[in-house]
Amino acid sequence: MSELETMIVVDGAGDGPRQRYELEDVGFREVPKQWRKFYRHWRGPGDALAPNEVICPICKVVIRSTRELRPGDKVYCMPCMSRMVVVRGADGRLEADVIF
């Protein structure tokens, strides 16, 4: 289990099993090679986020997980070193609120 996966906290809501995803390296060069598959660049307003992705509000990098993200999960952005919690936004989309 990777360090990023261990930072994800299981939401107590019990909405069923989480969907799993196979991540590929998408060329994100700002972090060490072993962590590159967990991040990608935001491609602008037309970019859609998958259920396993959330955008960092500080550096606008997309944080990816091998599991489906749910409100209450905690994620870490290695490029800007921020810790965040996943919340559901007003429009129903998953967003990240900075903790530290």
pLDDT higher at 8 or 89: 89
Q: What is the pLDDT of residues 6-65, one digit of tens each?
A: 344 444 445 689 999 999 999 899 999 999 999 999 999 899 999 999 999 999 999 999
Q: Which of 56-67 are b and which e, b meaning 16 or more Cβ less than 10 Å from the residue's Cβ?
A: beeeebbbbbbb
Give me the pLDDT at residue 78, please. 95
* Domain segments of the chain as ranges: 3-10+18-98
Q: Please report which helix (H) or strand (E) contains residue 64, including its range.
A: strand 61-64
Give me the pLDDT at residue 1, please. 41
